[in-house]
């Protein structure tokens, strides 16, 4: 499996690409090409072009959750798919059903722009709370079990679920997991479910205790002392081979994590490969 960072808040020092406060990964596994999140704009397409990566033959689009910095780039992908819109070989779109719900924060829209009906013009839509195996080794987790008492304690804005307004605890937040020969590779968007909850659920679903790498946003932005200390302790105990925390992970949190794990640099242009 090969993962390339198309969008992140940061860019690598020796790579001349652009960044934005969003996230998008291009993943290749066997004959499948997967776009995981699409950032905030068309930047993922521009960076892919500069990297020599073609998005014209992707097999899957996987949405980690319905927030704007992960989903608004979809409009640009849909424009590029106009010629494929009515063909039989549509791309499969995977997300949690609640990812498509309206989301607002302080009166501003921060959520997904399209209905399921609009998506079906371009994609084979698979909205699922249950895990979906994309390949023999790569799985979309669906709805994450939330088992600890220190993560996901605060809502972010308001969501509309079946015409009922409620605080948004991002139940739609999910992740991908790759079962490598040397342990699990956890691929996250923002980890609103809690990075520790995500890892525990991945271990349970895949019947594997070894963690090879964790890459993506950890949603550690001015976290509470309790959350940061417990996250530190948890990661120290599971002892991942490497950690690539990016996007919504602030500098103090990265410094704290670096004291207990091998924290690696992340930025647009980074490529990781796993067997």
Cα distance between residue 232 and residue 252, in whole Å:
12
Cα distance between residue 144 and residue 128, in whole Å:
12
Contact 226, 238 (CB under 8 A): no
Q: Please state the pTM of the whole predicted model.
A: 0.95
Number of compact structural domains in the chain: 1
**In terms of DSSP bridges, do strands 164-167 and 175-180 run parallel, antiparallel, or are they unpaired?**
unpaired
Give φ, ψ of 126 to 5 degrees: -125, 95
Q: What is the pLDDT of residue 85?
A: 52
Element (H, E) at 206: helix 195-206
Contact 80, 205 (CB under 8 A): no
Q: What is the pLDDT of residue 84?
A: 61
Q: What is the pLDDT of residue 13?
A: 81
Q: Could you list the pLDDT tens digit for every one of the 275 residues in the chain?
A: 999 999 999 999 888 899 999 999 999 998 999 999 999 999 999 999 999 999 989 999 999 999 999 999 999 999 998 866 555 568 999 999 999 999 999 989 999 999 999 999 999 999 999 999 999 999 999 999 999 999 998 999 999 998 899 999 999 999 999 999 999 999 999 999 999 999 999 999 999 999 999 999 999 999 999 999 999 999 999 999 999 999 999 999 999 999 999 999 999 999 999 99
* Domain enclosing residue 90, as ranges: 2-273
CATH, residue 169: 3.60.15.10
């Amino acid at each position: 499996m090969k993962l390339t960072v198309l969008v992140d808040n940061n860019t690598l020092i020796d790579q001349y690409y652009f960044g934005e406060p969003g996230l998008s990964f291009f993943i290749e596994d066997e004959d499948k090409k997967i776009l995981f999140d699409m950032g905030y704009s068309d930047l993922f397409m521009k960076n892919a072009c500069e990297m020599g990566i073609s998005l014209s033959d992707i097999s899957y689009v996987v949405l980690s959750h319905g927030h704007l910095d992960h989903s608004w780039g979809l409009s640009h992908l849909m424009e590029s798919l106009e010629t494929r819109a009515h063909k039989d070989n549509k791309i499969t779109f995977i997300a949690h059903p609640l990812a498509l719900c309206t989301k607002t924060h302080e009166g501003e829209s921060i959520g997904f722009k399209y209905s399921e009906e609009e998506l079906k013009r371009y994609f084979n839509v698979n909205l699922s709370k249950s895990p979906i195996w994309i390949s023999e080794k790569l799985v979309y987790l669906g709805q994450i079990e939330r088992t600890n008492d220190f993560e996901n304690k605060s809502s972010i804005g308001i969501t509309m679920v079946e015409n009922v307004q409620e605080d948004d605890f991002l139940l739609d937040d999910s992740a991908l997991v790759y079962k490598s020969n040397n342990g699990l590779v956890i691929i996250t968007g923002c980890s609103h479910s809690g990075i520790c909850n995500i890892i525990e659920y991945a271990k349970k679903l895949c019947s594997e205790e070894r963690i090879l790498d964790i890459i993506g946003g950890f949603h550690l932005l001015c976290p509470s002392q309790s959350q940061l200390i417990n996250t530190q302790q948890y990661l120290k105990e599971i002892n991942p081979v490497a950690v690539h925390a990016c996007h919504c992970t602030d500098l103090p949190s990265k410094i704290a994590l670096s004291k207990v794990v091998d924290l690696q640099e992340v930025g647009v242009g980074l490529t990781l490969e796993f067997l």
